Structure formats: structure tokens, C-alpha cells
Amino acid sequence: MNRRTLLLLLPSLIGALPGRPARADLRPAALTEADRADVARIEAYLNGLRTLKARFLQIAPDGAQTTGTAWVQRPGRLRFEYDPPSPILLVAGHGLLVFHDQQLKQTTNLPLGATPLGLLLQDNLQLSGDVTITGMVRDPGQIQITLVRTASPGDGTLTLVFADTPLALRQWWVEDAQQRETRVSLFDVRLGGTFDQDLFVYVEGFTQPHRHD
């Protein structure tokens, strides 16, 4: 992955960087009674989801595809380990999101609360108040919901895609202020269990994948 690809991927994966203008079209969606019932189901599902491990396929804004392994521990912890030859590691923990490129020897740190991914990881998630729903689509067997932080919609949008009956998170995508989009699809999903907490700590000098079963 070259420097240009990294610079394209980073803001789209984690949302707009500080100082970017908010998009003008991010207005609250008009929800029906059925929509509100599904919102309540999604809140209950996400708040009941404590740990998740899965393989992922990521499609960057330039169309580049990468795979890897993801660990999610709510609240506040996430690790994306990309398969070789990608040099990328993404770690969230202790309120920070760390994006490290071993090839470029470049590390970027952002407050987790300033990124759309932080919405997915926050404790006691409520899809109202601090969070605004800007879109909701219901297709056969699938529900799609788009979210922004109410106070800072310019941070970017987070769209979650769930399989329905039973409800299960299957995909998300992040769109930044310039409408660049990165999609992440999950497969081989395993729920529950405990993880080594070292997974969610970035260690300076990382050189090899830090794999845990």
C-alpha cells in the first residue's frame, strides 16, 4: 500500500478529520412506527453484543480490497489485523483509535469519540439524542441504518447493515465529508468469549501480526 492509498483510506475508514466542514444534507430521517420498533431492536442487539471475532473484507474508496481478522469488544475496543502483504494495523482502546502503517513507519492517533466507529463501540448505545439517524432502509431479510453524531455530523456517517430474523450485524460502511466510502463486510462471525486485552493496545515498534485465538 503506497502513501497515496493510505491517505485516501484513513479519513474514509475512520471519518472526517478535525476541521472538515459538515455536509449540509445530513438531516434526521422521518421514522415510521415500524422504523422505531426496529431501532429499539437494534439498540438492544448492539448493547447485548459484548465480544465478536470475525474475518472481514474491506473495500477502500479506490476499490482496493483487503482481508483480515477483526476483534470487537464493547465498549471501546477494536482491533483490525490486515492479512499480508498489507502493513496496516488498526487498534481502538483506552479512548484512542490508532492507525499504524509499518511500511511507511507512520502512526496516526485520534480520539475514538471523534470517529464514526466510536458510535459502534460506545457503551449503552442509544440511537437518539447524541446520535441522529439520517437514513433507514428495510429490504427483505435486511435492515440498514445510517447514523451521525448529532453535535458533529461532519465527522462522517456510519451505516450499519443487519441480517434480519434473527438480527445480526453483517456489514458497515463509513463515509467522510467528501463522500468517500469504505465498506467492511463480516464473515465467519463468532460471538462471545474473552480476549487477551493486549489485543487492544498498540505497542510502538509493531512488526508482526499479534494473533490471538
Q: What is the pLDDT of residues 57-109, one digit of tens each?
A: 999 888 889 999 999 999 999 999 999 998 889 999 988 889 888 888 888 88
Residues pairing with 39 in the sheet: none
Could you say which DSSP state residue 31 is in?
A: -
Rg of the chain (C-alpha set):
17
Helix, strand or coil, per DSSP, at residue 156: coil
Tell which residue, 36, 54, 41, has the closest CA to residue 164: 41
- Contact present, 184 and 120 (Cβ < 8 Å): no
Most confident of 11-15, 91-95, 103-107, 174-178: 91-95
Handedness of CA 117, 14, 28, 144 (dihedral sign): negative
- Region of poorest pLDDT, from 20-29, 174-183, 189-198: 20-29
Our CA dihedral for 161, 146, 39, 150, rounded to 10 degrees, sits at 150
Strands in 36-130 per DSSP E: 51-59, 65-73, 77-82, 88-93, 96-101, 106-111
Distance CA 209, CA 206 (A): 8
Whether this model's pTM surpasses 0.85: no
Give the mean pLDDT of 131-155: 88
Strand order in the sheet with 181-191: 106-111, 96-101, 88-93, 77-82, 65-73, 51-59, 181-191, 168-175, 157-163, 142-149, 131-139
pLDDT computed for residue 109 by the predictor? 87
Give me the chain's average pLDDT, please. 82
Residue 5 has pLDDT above 50, yes or no: no
Question: What is the CB neighbour count within 10 angstroms for residue 40?
Answer: 11
Query: By mean pLDDT, which of 58-72, 110-124, 129-143 is the weakest?
Result: 110-124
Instruction: Point out which residues pair with 205 in neighbouring strands.
Output: none
Amino acid identity at 83: D
User: What integer pLDDT is reported at residue 34 of this predicted model?
Assistant: 93
SS3 category, 104? coil
- What whole-number percentage of the chain has pLDDT above 90? 44
Please give the Cα distance from 152 to 130 (Å, whole number).
9
pLDDT of residue 24: 44
pLDDT band for position 52 (cuts 50, 70, 90):
very high
**Domains, the chain, with CATH or none:** 3-15+26-200 (2.50.20.10)
pLDDT band at 22 (very low <50, low <70, confident <90, very high): very low
Beta pairing partners, 51: 73
- Count CA within 13 A, CB hemisphere, residue 76: 10
Confidence at 10, pLDDT banded by 50, 70, 90: very low
The residue type found at 143 is I
Q: Which alpha helices (H) appear in the chain, and where do they start and end?
A: 3-14, 33-48, 117-121
**Predicted local confidence at residue 103, as pLDDT:** 84
**Residues 149, 161: contact at Cβ < 8 Å?**
no
